[in-house]
Structure formats: C-alpha cells, structure tokens
Structure 1
C-alpha cells in the first residue's frame, strides 16, 4: 500500500520476512544483522514494520535499538506500538496510521536546557570545589611521587574518545597494572576494587569523599561531559557491551549518574548498564536535579565509594 500511494512519499526498495515467532536471541541477532545489511545495500532511510504476531515488543524494541545509530526512521503499526512509551508519535502514510519511534537523543530546546544547566552548575561547582582541589592537590604531591592530576582516555558521546581529568589517587604506572590486578568488570569486581593495592593512602581518602572526581567539572564546562549522565567507560570495557548497551553513548557522559546514586561501585555491571539506559531513555531536567540532590547525599555518607 505504501508503494502504491505516491502521496505518501515512500518507495519500497526491499522486503524482509519476519523472524520465527519463537526465535531465540541468537536467531534474532542474525535476523537483525540481515535487516541492517539490507538497509545498507539499499541505502534506505526508513523501516516500516507491519502488524504481525511474530513482531512483538521484544523484536521491535531490539530493532529500534539497532536503528538508533544509523539515523534510520522506524515506523510501526499501532498494534505493536507499545515498545517505546513517550518516544512514540503518530504519522499518517497512505491513509495508514503508523507510529514513529523517535531516537532518544537531545535536540533543540532539550539540548540547550541541558547545556545551560551544565555551564551554570559547572562554574558554580568549580568555585565551590576549588578549596578541596587545592587541599587535595597539595596532599597528593606531599604523599606520593608523581603528578597531581591524572588524565585518562574514556568513551564519550557517540563513541568519541575524550580525556577525563582527575586528581591522581594511584601510584605512577597504575594503568599498566590494571588488567593484572583488576581485570575486566564482572560480578566480583567490587571486591577487587576495595582491595586495589595501586591506590595510595591519601588516594583512598580522596575517593572516600569523591574529591578525586571534582576536577571533571572542567570537562563539564568544556562540553566533553555533562553534569549528569552515564559515567564514561574505559575503552577496554567496550567488548563487554551487549547489543543495546552502546545506546548509553547517545548522550554525553556525566560527572554523576543514575547508577552512582544507586550504590556506585557496589552496583554490578549488568545493573549499571540497565540504570544508564534507563537514564538515556527517560532524561528530563527534573530527573537531572533529582540525581544531583541524591549525589550530594551519596557523597556525604560515602555510599559505595572506595
């Protein structure tokens, strides 16, 4: 019907059969790979999903996640439009009511509001943090050999690499020892961090009160980070990401985030990813303010910090 109605503005370039109704995760990944290959071959800019018992919430949601990076629009029949809540808007095409799933990224006024809050709070926090940074810098210099500040390459918005600024809390050369001592994130990583021998005595004090992360307000003011968002991950943690986890990079990484006010390092990797994706999906200025308020409480009580 879309192809027969020139007013609709669509040209059908390919048709992909639906997956089996009982498709498992591996089979679904293969089907999604085929869809993405067809899109690339045809240079398609829209995917329309017809109503079908096999195309339930799980399948359409996974398809929506795959399409977020390539900037391909997704239109679905109303009967399966319960996959994205507030990101759904109605569009008419060839007299058919189709639901458009918007990608959860900040545009226009939302981006301006978030950036304004970042600058306002970033400058204010820098002034507030300055005495702590001076004391922390002097203490770092007097208690261990090496520079006061430490920069580390992390993954920013869109997968771009950024340099994150921190007060140094570990001995010089700690990065080269990370894999041998800490390894990659898993269910036991929290215990290994607590006993990390690379952290200096004064560094543990800085971490206990999150003073080591205060220099990142500079990243916030510069624009490579936001005040609130998913915490920036290490490059060598990317292989651990599942199919949907890369969606956390649709927004800038944050100085604090939803997982930090939910237990910080005591939260396991899977729960951290879930909280980050929830934030990306449901961002609002009010949510940012709530997270900031909860961060103050978490820092004061040292919840999950070590």
Structure 2
C-alpha cells in the first residue's frame, strides 16, 4: 500500500526544506568538511570516505557516505585486525562528536535521505522485518531520528522499530524540530554513546545495534 503523507508538511515541505538545509550546511561549513577530510587522510589514510549500501525510501538501495574512522591494518593472512586495534583516538573522537556523519549531508541533497527519519539499517536485515516493520521504509531514512533521541543503542530492537514506525506514521514539522534539538543536546553532552562493538540484546537473542554503531562495527575501510 502506498504511503499516505501525514500532512501538508510531509507532502509538500519536508523534501524542499531538506534540500535547502543540506545545501546551506555545505556552503556554510565547507571549511569543516575540508579540515576533517585532510585530518582523516593524514591520520587514517585513504580513501577518506567509505560507502555502504543501505535501504532507503521504498527499500530502494543507495550508497551511504561517511568519513572513515578506522585504520586499514591487516594480519599476515590479509584479514582486518580487530576493531579495537584499528580504531584510534582520532577515530573515536570523530564518532563521539558525530563528525564522521558529515558526508551524509550529500545523501540528503541527493534525495537518498532526510535530515530526520528512521536511521538506515543494513541491507541484510531486510528479510527479517515483519510486514509492519517494513513500513519504516515508507519515508526517507534520516541523519537522526526519534529512536536516536529516545535512547540510541541503549534501547531494544523492538523499541527502535516502534519509534521508527511512530515517526513514519506521524511526521510533523514540530516533531522534526524537537528531534533536532534533542539530537544537538545529546551530541553536546555525549549521552547514549557506547563503544562500537557494544549493542543491545533482544528477547530472541539476536545481536542488535543502533545503525550508527552497526556501520562502525562492520566498517571496511578498503
């Protein structure tokens, strides 16, 4: 069933506002992108960016952009070393300040993502969604979302999807503003941030992470 926008904001204003804010962010903070890119190149090597396929609106696959946060160190067999070895203090700093997320603004400009929406999880999770859970893809995924301000990776899989569906079904301008304010406060206070290899465990025993940390766990800088 085709998703019916909750109101005029979602139908007519959300995408133009995303585009405007995305372009404005690049124009105003171009120097920050340049500084982070240069530091990543010096401290972590090349490539500066890494991409990963994610399901977007209507489960259309797109490439998510991020600054890399790990070294590309391998053992004698050519296998990547454990995360705790490849993750440097600089990489941790990028994650804790969410600066590694900056390139996702280009996903917003392209129309792959929105500023606010359900975080895009891994493609391999799609077969495990219930029929209801698939509806989290009725709208564009977001740079931040309701689940992230409600607890990030300190809430269960079921709670994450509950919040994602709540947002997808009741997206409003006021809700977006509140989520953005809470997101900024959480970034400033560093609340709800855990190690990249940590996550929550649901009742069925599946290992579940917030998508912000899943991608760091499986990140391959090559």
Q: TM-score, normalised by structure 2?
A: 0.76
Question: Deviation at 1:109?
Answer: 6.2
What is the correspondence of 1:256-275 to structure 2 with a 5 Å cutoff?
256-275=144-163
Equivalent position to 2:92, from 197, 204, 207: 204
* Between 279-288 and 198-207, the greater mean CA deviation after superposition: 198-207
Q: Specify which structure has the bigger relative contact order, considering alpha-carbon pairs within 8 angstroms and separated by 6 or more residues.
A: 2
Shift of 1:131: 3.0
Determine the structure 2 residue equivalent to 1:165. 65
Cα offset, 1:106, TM superposition: 6.1
> Do the aligned residues in 2 keep the contact of 1:166 with 1:215 (CA within 8 Å)?
yes
- The aligned residue for residue 15 of structure 2 is 115
Structure number with bigger Rg: 1
Whether 1:236 and 2:136 are equivalent positions in the alignment is no
Residue in 1 aligned with 2:36? Answer: 136
Q: Output the CA distance in 1 between the equivalents of 2:184 and 2:28.
A: 13
Q: Aligned to 2:10, what secondary structure does the other structure show?
A: helix
Partner of 1:187: none
The alpha carbon displacement at 1:267 in A equals 2.5
Equivalences, count:
191
Residue 207 of structure 2 is matched in structure 1 by: none
Alignment-derived partner of residue 124 in structure 1:
24
RMSD: 2.7
Separation (CA, whole Å) in 1 of partners of 2:133 and 2:84: 27
C-alpha distance in structure 2 between counterparts of 1:196 and 1:241, whole Å: 30
| Cα distance in 1, alignment partners of residues 28 and 63 from structure 2 | 23
Q: Residue 279 of structure 1 aligns to a residue in which SS?
A: helix
State the alpha-carbon separation in 2 of the partners of residues 209 and 177 from structure 1.
29
**Residues 1:301 and 2:189 are matched in the alignment:** yes
Q: Distance in 1 between the 2:137 and 2:110 partners?
A: 18
2:180 to 287, 292, 296: 292
In 2, are the aligned partners of 1:106 and 1:251 still within 8 Å (CA)?
no
CA–CA separation in structure 1 for the residues paired with 2:26 and 2:149:
21
Distance change (3 Å), C-alpha of 1:197 and 1:257: farther
1:151 matched to 2:51? The reply is yes
Please, which runs of 5 or more residues in structure 2 have no aligned partner? Answer: 195-222
3-state SS, counterpart of residue 126 of structure 2? helix
SS of equivalent to 1:140: helix
1:128 shift after superposition: 4.0
**TM-score, normalised to structure 1's length?**
0.56
